Chains A and B, each alone.
Chain A
């Protein structure tokens, strides 16, 4: 099945620094999503990408859909303490027959710690 690899696994940064993380896939995706999960909560959708090469921003967050369709990047500018959490990339998961009903395949997450 599809595998998503996120890097780095964890990051420790100072408040105000910019952050960059990425996600690579073993197969081509036509959709990329980035979620953030706080402790004890479910993932919250940050950005959705639907076209190769697409660059989308949401406040201080910017995500890009790689041209090869096998990777995506998430950047956070001027980090603040509330950016702490686990960031997941996700993409479509397909059944053996090639169909998908919208289920998501997730990466293993990047843990972000921001020091004030």
Chain B
């Protein structure tokens, strides 16, 4: 399909383990976003890439969270030394627009998410 894909769909980690979550955006989309969604809440912004450049990481909750997009396509969100409070669904979204003109950069297309459970 042509949509955003994420893997794995489900991940169970023991507290203290490192995890890596992958996002494949829609081909050609320059903008890529990561969001965290706690149970019963709306998604919350984590970080943003324009091509390979990470332009905004203000939403990353701690220095245990790290994201990269080295070639401007696939992105990986890494969480080191996972804690129970990291349990959530991690959503990736992409957009074809790089600028705010017309507001279309906000038309983001989401993947199915990775549900992370830390035990």
Tell me, yes or no, whether A binds B.
yes
Residues of chain A touching chain B, judged by Cβ–Cβ distance below 8 Å, are 4, 30-31, 33, 35, 40-45, 48, 50, 88, 90-93, 95, 100-109
Given A102-B100, A103-B59, A108-B41, A92-B106 contact (CB < 8 Å): yes
Inter-subunit contact A42/B33 (CB<8 Å):
no
A-B contact count (CB 8 A): 78
Name B's interface SS. mixed
Inter-subunit contact B112/A104 (CB<8 Å):
no
| Residues of the A chain whose Cβ atoms lie less than 8 Å from the Cβ of B55 | 101
Given A48-B103, A50-B103, A106-B44, A101-B108 contact (CB < 8 Å): no
Give the residue name and chain of the A residue nearest to B58 (CB).
A95
- Complex-state Cα separation, A106 to B108, whole angstroms: 13
- Complex-state Cα separation, A108 to B31, whole angstroms: 24
Given A106-B42, A109-B42, A31-B103 contact (CB < 8 Å): yes
B66: Cβ under 8 A from any A Cβ: no
| Residues of the B chain whose Cβ atoms lie less than 8 Å from the Cβ of A4 | 42
The number of chain B residues touching the other chain, given as a range, is 20 to 34
- Complex-state Cα separation, A107 to B41, whole angstroms: 8
Chain A nearest CB, measured from B43 CB (Å): 5
Instruction: Flag the segment in B12-20, B70-78, B79-87, B89-97 that touches A.
Output: B89-97
- Complex-state Cα separation, A103 to B35, whole angstroms: 9
